[in-house]
Chains A and B, each alone.
Chain A
């Protein structure tokens, strides 16, 4: 399995709005902590170290 980089969401505007809404009312530090927790939760859900490694590289800007 490799990282999915093609669009994969049915209602991307709704998901995006939900992410923003989850941060509502938080300080920057609280938001950063929330993002860290969210990354860990999603990484565990993915459960594939190779995929996570690809995602980390893409996020960091070392590939693609």
Chain B
């Protein structure tokens, strides 16, 4: 017989179910903002509950709450994506979509109770293809001299934790200590879909790949514009899409 669902999780499901009503572009923006506030309050409650689970040594429940955290965070990002699109900020909306996808994937890794979330992930993948234009993704290649475990702070190869796995309500991630950047490449499947070309030079200015708006280039930038350059993000300091690695920040 399976364990009874804790009262906190029942309440979580109720709030998430109510807020999920607002994951559509047609919903009123003010109501969507109220839903995001409710979800942020829920995140604070999850954190408190997780602390109790940790204090009592209940790792299974702490990891379940980690998954709840990811789901609530993912729902906030999804609703924010619609808000940002309505505000005419598609670059930021893209980042919100990627955050939503990443959070739902992480929920599946946090605890076995989130397997059914795959339908929501598929829905977000469909939104990516239908709403946003195809992106040109970037990937950096690095030589890494050391990897530090987020759980114990030791050199990753020497500890017992496995990146991407949950430990008492926290994912193990590694901080990469690079000794050299080897290359930057255009790839089909980046570790983080936020690493992409955002602008490129075009006749008379710099064109935003998302909006296709041409921003005029001033005289100082003309020489650079003539040499056909692109502006992109190729590494960021937040965890990668699989939530396992953090590294240094480069924006060029």
| Chains A and B form a bound pair | no
Residues of B within 8 A of A (CB): none
Q: Which residues of A contact B (CB under 8 A)?
A: none
